[in-house]
Structure 1
Amino acid sequence: MTRQEKIVKTSIIGIVVNLILVAFKATIGILVNSIAITLDAVNNLTDALSSIITIIGAKLAGKAPDKNHPYGYGRIEYFSSVIIAAIVLWAGITALMESWPKIFNPDVTSYTTVSLIIIAVAVVVKIVLGKYVKRVGENINSQALVASGSDALFDAILSLSTLIAAIISIFWHISLEGILGVIISIVIIKASIDMLRETVDSMIGSRVDSELSRKIKESICEVPGVYGAYDLSLHNYGPEDMQGSVHVEVDDTLSALEIHNLTRNIAIKIFEEFSIILTVGIYARNDKHHEIREDLEKIASEYEEVLEIHGFIVFEEMNLATFDIIVDFDADREKVKNEISDKIKQLHPQFNYIIIDDYDVSD
């Protein structure tokens, strides 16, 4: 079964279960005059609608690349997640507007044994559904399914709170409908904002997962002839389509053919292990002036803001030495670079130094 088929199958299961819960909860909510149960039914309806949007998004995202969209349509899944978040936010705000007045003017609620049993069953069903959807989403890297699964587990907690409020109402004749409705509304609103923030981060381009970055670099360094992997940059064109680039440090004596074979082996290795298409660039390594490199690394170690120095190379015919530096985003980058440049020039004045500014985009 393909990833798209798994998303569709899981979403259909979610739709069917949620619609059944909507029918039962809405009926009970109206019969016993419970705003909390009615709002819980509305929340299940938005869950079903979210699953429908997830299916549509998965179908559209699965379209093959074409001339106008050579990277495919994978990012459509992010747009579907934004739509889902907006729907959930609307449901939360609507619920809040309905619930707030009930705190000051509570309605009389008459629960029945049948209504309580159905609410209890709904709690169990939502827990099972939530765990299933979330597990599938994690296995196939579907942000929308993970969000739906988490939301279902949270719904179970909200339904449980409704059940507790009903029991309190029966035994102590205290109405918590309005208060519970407001709490449910706030929870729904917060969940939608979190979902929206996570999706927008993916669309903008958030930091690469540090564990993934380290694993990729470690895998590259396992290739014979590679002294280090740097400047890893990854971009996603959907949850299952990631491409990027990296620089590797190799001996400056390698021929073009040897470099070609080396970079090709690295690209194939990373694709087989991580399903990532990687473009490999080269840093030439020459230990002839290793004393300068060692002094440079010692100077850099004095600065907590300096995360890494790499790509060091000396061009004797031009009396020039260059290297890349990664300085923390929060530091005064220019100040740090100038100080390091001055210090290394004092120790080895026979060369001019060019510092290439890199950014901390991984690890």
Structure 2
Amino acid sequence: MSRQSKIVKTSIIEIGVNLILVAFKASIGILTNSIAITLDAINNLTDALSSIITIIGTKLAGKAPDKNHPYGYGRIEYFSSIIVSAIVLWAGITALMESWPKIFTPDITNYTTISLIIIAVAVVVKFALGTYVKRVGEKINSQALVASGSDSYFDAILSLSTLVAAIISIFFHISLEGILGVIISIAIIKSSIDMIKETLNHMIGARIDSDLSNKIKSSICEVPGVYGAYDLSLHNYGPEDMIGSVHIEVDDTLTALDIHTLTRTIQGKIYSEFSIALTIGIYAKNDKYEDMRKELSEIVSSYEEILEIHGFLVLEEQNLVMFDIIVDFDADRQKVKEEILEKIKAKYPKFNYCIVDDYDISD
């Protein structure tokens, strides 16, 4: 089953379960005059709406690339995740507005044994549904499903608190619905804001996952003839669509045919292992100036703010030394570069130097 089909199937299951719960909870809420149960029913209705939005977003995101959108429509999934999170936020704010007055003017409720049993069943059903949906979402990297699954957990907690409030009301004649409603509403609002932040991070362009970055670089370096992989940059065009670029270090004696064959091998390897299309640039390695390279590495090693140097190359005819330097974002980049230049130039004054200031975009 394709990723899109799994999302649609899971969302349809969510819709069916939530609509059944809406019918039961709304009936109980009206019959028992319970604001908590009525709000719970409304919350389940918003869950069903969220699942519908997830299906629509998934269908749109699955459209094939075209002339105007050559990278496809995968990022639409992020918008559907934002909408789902916004619905959860709205539900939390609405619940808070409804629950707060009930602290001071609680309603008189009339719970029955049947209503308590149905609420208890709803707790189990929503917890099981949340576990299932979130697990599927994490497995196929769907932020919308993860958000829906997390919301189902909160629904289960909301129903459980309603059950506890009902039992306390029956035995002690104390109404805690307003207080519990406020507490749970705040928890739902916080969760929705966290979900929005996470999705926005993906949309803006979050840092590459360290584990993924290291795995890709290690995989590249497994190919014979590759001495290092640097400047890995990945761009996300949806949860499952990534393209990127990387530089590899190879011997300066390789021919164009050798490099062509090598880069094709790496591209095929990375795509088969990670489903990522890479564009590959080349750093030439000339062993004649290995001593100079080692001295540069020793100079750099005394600077904690320098994370890496790479792309070292000496062009004899131009008396030019080139290398890239990655400085920590929080450091004084210009000052560090000037100090490194001064120290290496003191050892090799006959050369001119070109230092490329790289950014720390991947580990």
Task: Give the TM-score category using the shorter length.
Answer: over 0.9
Q: 2:88 touches 2:151 (CA, 8 Å); kept in 1?
A: no
Letter in 2 for 1:83: I
Shift of 1:219: 0.2
Between the aligned partners of 1:128 and 1:114, the Cα distance in structure 2 is 21
Point out where structure 2 has 5 or more consecutive residues left out of the alignment: none
SS where residue 57 of structure 2 aligns?
A: helix
What residue number does 1:211 align with?
Answer: 211
What residue number does 1:236 align with?
Answer: 236
Between the aligned partners of 2:111 and 2:351, the Cα distance in structure 1 is 86
Q: 2:231 touches 2:247 (CA, 8 Å); kept in 1?
A: yes
Between the aligned partners of 2:61 and 2:237, the Cα distance in structure 1 is 10
What residue number does 1:271 align with?
Answer: 271
Q: 1:35 touches 1:181 (CA, 8 Å); kept in 2?
A: no
Q: Summarize deviations over 1:106-165 as a string: whole Å, max 9, x none.
A: 111222111111111011111111111112112211111111112212321222122112
What residue number does 2:183 align with?
Answer: 183
Between the aligned partners of 1:335 and 1:123, the Cα distance in structure 2 is 60
Return 163-172 or 231-240, whichever deviates more. 163-172
SS where residue 6 of structure 1 aligns?
A: helix
Deviation above 2 Å: which 4+ runs of structure 1? none
Shift of 1:30: 1.7
Between the aligned partners of 2:185 and 2:266, the Cα distance in structure 1 is 51
Q: 2:208 touches 2:361 (CA, 8 Å); kept in 1?
A: yes
Letter in 2 for 1:313: L
Paired positions, count: 363
Please give the residue correspondences for 1:1-363 in structure 2 after superposition, counting only pairs within 5 Å.
Answer: 1-363=1-363
Between the aligned partners of 1:137 and 1:265, the Cα distance in structure 2 is 33
Q: Summarize deviations over 1:242-295 as a string: whole Å, max 9, x none.
A: 000000000000000000000010000000000000111100001211121111
Between the aligned partners of 2:28 and 2:290, the Cα distance in structure 1 is 78
Q: 1:93 touches 1:185 (CA, 8 Å); kept in 2?
A: yes
Shift of 1:350: 2.0
Q: 2:248 touches 2:282 (CA, 8 Å); kept in 1?
A: yes
Between the aligned partners of 1:135 and 1:85, the Cα distance in structure 2 is 18
Shift of 1:7: 0.8
Shift of 1:341: 1.1
SS where residue 65 of structure 1 aligns?
A: coil
Letter in 2 for 1:207: R
SS where residue 13 of structure 1 aligns?
A: helix
Letter in 2 for 1:334: Q
Between the aligned partners of 1:334 and 1:205, the Cα distance in structure 2 is 25
Shift of 1:359: 0.8
Q: 2:29 touches 2:38 (CA, 8 Å); kept in 1?
A: yes
Provide the TM-score with structure 1 as the length reference.
0.98
